[in-house]
Amino acid sequence: MNKADLVDSITKATSLTKGDTAKFVDAFISNVITVTSNGEKVYLVGFGAFSISERKEREGRNPRTGEPIVIPAAKAPKFTAGKAFKDAVASNSAKPEPVAVKNDTKAKTDPVKKK
């Protein structure tokens, strides 16, 4: 499933328009990136947590020459699946019925700033 498929799936499960759903997905992704880049975790109970993993400097090998090289320390995005998500995958029930969401409130959103 790609981003367009995800937008279509959410649109069908909610009363949102395709345009509003696409804006929501973009805002969600942007916010997860911004928050985790600032060193905070994003917790979605039952689904999982997004965070940053600190990788230490380490020694590796050049695959062509076999020479030892130093791989510098780096930060990498990390996702840790929640219990409900793990249980759903383990039981092969990864296809739960979509739940219709009632859109009886207007969301207040700020435009996402482009870098």
Give me the pLDDT at residue 92, please: 75
Q: What token pair was written down for 84?
A: 């409900």
Which of the 8 DSSP states describes residue 6?
H
The pTM assigned to this predicted structure is 0.68
Q: Give the CATH class of 3-90.
A: few secondary structures
User: What is the SS3 assignment for 75?
Assistant: strand
Give me the average pLDDT of each 10-residue run along the chain (115 residues): 94 93 96 95 94 95 95 96 90 64 56 51
Q: Where would I find the H helices in 14-103?
A: 18-37, 83-90
Question: Residue 49 and residue 103: Cα distance in Å, rounded?
Answer: 26
